[in-house]
Amino acid sequence: MTSILQKPRMAFDLSELPLHGKRSASLTWWGTLGFMLIEGSGFALVLAVYLYLASIATEWPLGAPPPDLLPGTIVTAVLLLSLIPNMLVSRWARQEDLRKVRIGMIVMALLGIAPLVPRAFEFSALNVLWDSNAYGSITWTLLGLHTTHLITDLIDTLVLSALMFTRHGRNPRRFGDVQDNAMYWNFVVLTWLPIYASLYGIPRL
């Protein structure tokens, strides 16, 4: 039935390859990178709009005192602190240590909720409303955009944490997801720093 002629020439044996690639051999890792690039461009553009509006304004901030530092600084501190457990979870996931990953994910879920509390106060600490003037519009948009990222990553972390406690948890794919989630959290924290610097620094220049 299968004469030699019919049979294509097999030049490459793939059978020993792993069933799932890790990090840069995994598609989700690249996909996460792609979406970070998109969102990074978005953040950069909104920041550019901020600078643009500031550059054409006669005074900045427009008709408002500079934002109060306290809530935003607490958010920044919490976010920076969260990087440490975040790094640890990522490492545990790399070592495929399910027990530690479970604990770590709960910690990260809590650390995802924590900054939302001072963030709620941060909006009123801006001392301006979105519909007061263009300064209010851009500050609320910047803060809102970043808050959206905090919330979406929190939901992602919560769902993934729940998943780690099911029978689906013990799977190299899930450990990869945890690492990608950690990478994305780093992104959310790092993009905050220029936003923080602009929102609070530029009005004080």
Partner 1 sequence: MMRAEAGDLQHSIAPDMRDTDLAPEVLDRQLERVWGTPATLWGILATVDHKRIGRRYVATAFIFLAMGGVLALLMRLQLAGPERRLIGPDRYNQIFTMHGANMMFLFAVPVMEAIAVYLVPLMVGTRNIAFPRLNAFSYWIYLAGGVLLWVAFALDMGPDIGWFAYVPLSGPQYGSGKRADIWAQMITFTEIAALAVAVELVVTVLKQRAPGMSLDRVPLFVWAMLVTSFCVIMAMPAIMVASTSLILDRLVGTHFYNPAEGGDVLLWQHLFWFFGHPEVYIIFLPAVGMISGILPTFARRPIFGYLPLVLALIATGILAFGLWVHHMFATGLPRLGESFFTASSMAIAIPNGVQIFCWLATLALGRPVLAAPLLFVLAFFFTFIIGGLSGVMVASVPLDTQVHDTYFVVAHFHYVLIGGAVFPLMGAIYYWFPKLTGRMMSERVGRVVCGLVFVGFNLTFFPMHILGLQGMPRRIYTYQPDMPWGGLNLFVSLSSCLLAAGFLIFFIDIMRCMRWGLPAGDNPWNAATLEWATTSPPRSYNFARIPVVSSANPLWDEPELLVSSGLRVERRELVISTVAAAVPEARDASPANSIWPFFAAIATTGMLISSIFTPWAVVWGSLPVMVTLIGWFWPKSTPEDQA
Map tokens 């809530």 to a residue.
Answer: 71
* For partner 1, the closer CB: 28 or 73: 28
Determine, following the binding rule CB under 8 A, whether residue 19 of this chain makes contact with partner 1.
yes
Q: Binding pattern to partner 1, positions 136-155, x when CB under 8 A?
A: xxx-xx-------------x
Asked if 196 and 107 touch (Cβ cutoff 8 Å), the reply is no
Determine the residue type at 90: S
* For partner 1, the closer CB: 84 or 120: 120
Determine, following the binding rule CB under 8 A, whether residue 48 of this chain makes contact with partner 1.
yes
Burial class (CB in 10 A: 0-12, 13-18, 19+), 142: buried
Please count the other Cβ atoms lying within 10 Å of the Cβ belonging to residue 87: 14
Cβ of residue 103: shortest distance to partner 1, in angstroms?
21
Which residues, other chains included, contact 126 with Cβ-Cβ below 8 Å and sequence gap of 6+?
A: 64, 67, 136, 139, 140, 143, 199
Determine, following the binding rule CB under 8 A, whether residue 34 of this chain makes contact with partner 1.
yes
Which residues, other chains included, contact 113 with Cβ-Cβ below 8 Å and sequence gap of 6+?
A: 154
Map tokens 């799932």 to a residue.
Answer: 20
Cβ of residue 96: shortest distance to partner 1, in angstroms?
11
Determine, following the binding rule CB under 8 A, whether residue 17 of this chain makes contact with partner 1.
yes
Cβ of residue 73: shortest distance to partner 1, in angstroms?
26
Three-class SS state of 147: helix
Determine, following the binding rule CB under 8 A, whether residue 194 of this chain makes contact with partner 1.
no
Pair of tokens at residue 28: 């989700």
Q: Binding pattern to partner 1, positions 70-109, x when CB under 8 A?
A: ----------------------------------------
Number of residues that bind partner 1 (CB under 8 A): 61
Determine, following the binding rule CB under 8 A, whether residue 124 of this chain makes contact with partner 1.
no
DSSP string, 77-101: HHHHHHHHHHHHHHHHHHTT-HHHH
User: Which residues are near partner 1 by CB under 8 A?
Assistant: 1-2, 6-21, 24-27, 30-31, 34-35, 37-39, 41-42, 45-46, 48-49, 52-53, 55-57, 62, 130-138, 140-141, 155, 159, 163, 168, 171-174, 176
